[in-house]
Amino acid sequence: MESFGSKGEQKQPPLKAIKRFSAIQVVLRLAVTALTLAAAWTVLTSKQTVSVFGIQMDARYSYSPAFKFLAVANIIGFGFSLLSVLVVFILDKMADNPKHYFYMFLHDLIVMALLLSGCASATAIGYVGKFGESQSGWMPVCDNVSKFCHKITVGLTLSYIAVIFYLILTVLSANQSRKSMFQN
């Protein structure tokens, strides 16, 4: 009778489970790649010019450091997501090394933190643009440049969805790393 603490033969995860994990990772990474590209494109192309009381008012993403940061964070997220899809295909051939899962966990965590910080900064500025800040004397501008605000909102929404997908990838990578560490 074999005891629970025996040092005998270690069970390897079934091939079907490894293939399912790889397929989920690839689908999520491709989705994140598309989301970050779409979010970056939406933010980068957001601009509107209106005339208010005879004064020309121009709204562009480049006028706000927070919106620039959101665009750059999404561009970096897109690049690293695309790179991670390629890495997952390579690592799929070497699925027995637990260090690979840990490195993917670190990658996912760093990109998620970058995207989340870009979203947070743009959300704060977007909130002020939408509702103003009466204590500071800042008036809302989204009533005048609604097309611009709508495009920024779409870009932010896509970015937040990418953050959620990266959170799922982070949890999956951490869980797989933990499982691999205890199996070897």
Euclidean distance between CA atoms 65 and 177, whole angstroms: 37
The size of the chain, in residues, is: 184
CA 141 to mean position of chain CA atoms = 28
Model pLDDT, residue 21 = 76
The closest of 120, 165, 122, 126 to 145, measured between CA atoms, is 126
Residues 98, 173 contacting (CB under 8 angstroms): no
Residues 38, 97 contacting (CB under 8 angstroms): no
Instruction: Give the single-character DSSP code of 2.
Output: -
Amino acid letter, 98: P
Model pLDDT, residue 4 = 52
Q: How confident is the chain (184 residues) per 10-residue block, as mean pLDDT? A: 50 66 87 96 90 83 92 96 86 63 88 96 93 84 88 96 95 77 54
pTM: 0.84
The closest of 54, 5, 27 to 165, measured between CA atoms, is 27
Model pLDDT, residue 30 = 95
